[in-house]
Amino acid sequence: MSVHFDRRARCGTQCGATHFWVSGQVTSTLDQRCRQIDGTRLAVDFQEARHQATPEAQATPMPLVARLPRKHQVIQLRRSGVHKCYCQAAPLTKLHNALLPSTMNVVQLARLHKVREFLKFDHPSIKRVMLELVPHTLGDAVEYERFREYLIKGRENQPRAGVALEMESQGYKVFILPPGQEAQWLGYRGDMMVAVIRSSW
């Protein structure tokens, strides 16, 4: 799978705040449907998150559902070299012209409230793309949820984003965000983790 990066767009929404998101249509499915995963048919109820995040958005875990068909690239999620789970990387923006790694090894943690800084919103030339990360199988769901809660709880009660460096040789850095206000700024209103691949220039 390859990745095409869209530049970010900026817009004032009807709630009066300024929000940020990746340009291009977000294609995450947030409707009710059944999915086939490893032969087990799951009835899934999706409820779109509120447009404006509540103060409890980071502190309250959202329900976990493994829900995408097996058609996206599978990525191994690690923390400092330790295997956590396998995820499907579902593109939320156009994908071509950069290679995704087979592994995302989180070796650093960034303070989530500094998302505008580490995603470099003040640099118009920076390109970024979003991927929705979902458990590859039902067997991956438990460790997936644990890692998601690990990012939400963070350190010293401050949520974190995971940082992976596998794409540095291509000129990109990967940031893994939990669901919540920061992901909503990027246009994502689901309950999964998202990977934001940001160019270095």
Helix runs in 33-162, H state only: 115-118, 141-153
Tell me, what's the pLDDT at 153?
Answer: 94
pLDDT of residue 158 exceeding 60, the answer is: yes
Q: Which of 166, 3, 1, 14 is nearest to 77 (CA)?
A: 166
Query: How far apart (Å, rounded) are the C-alpha atoms in residues 26 and 20?
Result: 13
Is the pLDDT reported for residue 26 higher than 60?
Answer: no
Nearest to 161 by CA among 177, 183, 180: 177
Percent of the chain beyond pLDDT 70? 64
- The mean per-residue pLDDT over the stretch 48-56 comes to 33
What pLDDT is stored for residue 156 in this prediction? Answer: 85
Per residue in 165-188, pLDDT tens?
999 999 999 999 999 999 999 999
Sign of CA dihedral 100, 102, 107, 108: positive
Mean pLDDT of 144-154: 96
Strand ranges (DSSP E) for 38-150? 40-44, 73-79, 82-91, 103-111, 127-135
Residues 6+ apart with CB under 8 A from 2: 95, 96, 97, 98, 99, 100
What is the model's pLDDT at position 97?
67
Mean pLDDT computed over 146-160: 94
Q: How far apart (Å, rounded) are the C-alpha atoms in residues 179 and 194? A: 7
Chain mean pLDDT for the chain: 74
Domain enclosing residue 86, as ranges: 6-199
Q: Name the band, by pLDDT with cuts 50, 70 and 90, for residue 93.
A: confident
Structure tokens at 127: 């390109």
Classify residue 11: in a domain, yes or no: yes
How far apart are alpha carbons 30 and 193 in whole angstroms? Answer: 14
Other beta carbons within 10 angstroms of residue 181's beta carbon come to 18
Q: Can you tell me the distance from the alpha carbon of 186 to that of 184, in angstroms, rounded to the nearest whole number?
A: 5
Q: In whole angstroms, how far apart are CA 189 and each of 13, 53, 164, 165? A: 15, 10, 23, 26
Q: Residue 70: its pLDDT value, please? A: 56
Mean pLDDT on 62-69: 44
Evaluate whether residue 117 is within a structural domain: yes
Number of domains composing the chain: 1
Q: Is residue 161 part of a domain?
A: yes
For residue 1, is it within any domain?
A: no
Nearest to 110 by CA among 55, 182, 171: 182
More confident residue, 182 or 29: 182
